[in-house]
Amino acid sequence: GQQVMQIPQYQHVQEGEDFTTYCNSSTTLSNIQWYKQRPGGHPVFLIQLVKSGEVKKQKRLTFQFGEAKKNSSLHITATQTTDVGTYFCAGRGGATNKLIFGTGTLLAVQP
Amino acid sequence: GAGVSQSPRYKVAKRGQDVALRCDPISGHVSLFWYQQALGQGPEFLTYFQNEAQLDKSGLPSDRFFAERPEGSVSTLKIQRTQQEDSAVYLCASGGTSSYNEQFFGPGTRLTVL
């Protein structure tokens, strides 16, 4: 079945450093969404990418969808302590409303 | 407006007991999803409803798991004869009809089976 992997599993950075997490799907995706889950919380929607090669920015966050629509990345510039949490990509393949979540990247930010 | 709510927030069950987990989606949301999230893992899809119709139940791990949404709003996930491996957080999410809609998650129910 469809699998979505993320690397790294864990990243520890000093406040102000940049951070990137990578998401790779075993199959072509129709769209990909990114969610953030704070410790003890629930996933919260960040953004959706639909088009091949699409790049979207939200303040310090930059999201990219690969040309083949099988991979994606999230880059955070100048991390802050409020960025702490686990970042999940979640993809849809084909004509389905079912989301397959990635394995997640836990970001720790040291002040 | 109110978000997705789930109850109970915490449930401790003895192995072999039946449990029922409730989800109240955002009013007007047509789609409703159930996920299982083990510690340190991403949410895993269990089942999906559009209104009262269960369109996909491919993620339910066994026939001990059953979900319903009889009137197209509130949904219940029932687990019969709970096992220790059922211990996890059960998340409910709701959204629109399109596969391009975002999903709004509830706080989850943490189930611990002893």
B84 touches A: beta carbon within 8 Å: no
pLDDT-derived band at B64 (thresholds 50, 70, 90) equals very high
Nearest CB among A43, A95, A96 relative to B43 is that of A43
Answer whether B100 sits within 8 Å of A48, measured CB to CB. yes
Q: What is the pLDDT of residues B2-58, one digit of tens each?
A: 899 999 999 999 999 999 999 999 999 999 999 999 998 999 999 999 999 999 999
Answer whether A42 sits within 8 Å of B106, measured CB to CB. yes
Backbone φ and ψ of B8, nearest 5° = -70, 165
Per-residue pLDDT of chain A (111 residues; tens, 9 = 90+): 778 999 999 999 999 999 999 999 999 999 999 999 999 999 999 999 999 999 999 999 999 999 999 999 999 999 999 999 999 999 987 666 788 999 999 999 999
Answer whether B99 sits within 8 Å of A97, measured CB to CB. yes
Check: CB of residue B24 under 8 Å from CB of residue B72: no
If phi > 0 it is left, if psi is from -120 to 50 it is alpha, else beta; for residue B34 that is: beta
Torsion of CA B26, B28, B31, B35, to 10 degrees: 10
B92 touches A: beta carbon within 8 Å: no
Distance (Å, rounded) from C-alpha B15 to C-alpha B112?
9
User: Which among B74, B39, B75, B38 has a CA at the least distance from the CA of B57?
Assistant: B75
**Mutate which of A3, A49, A99 to disrupt the B interface (most B C-beta within 10 Å)?**
A99
B91 touches A: beta carbon within 8 Å: yes
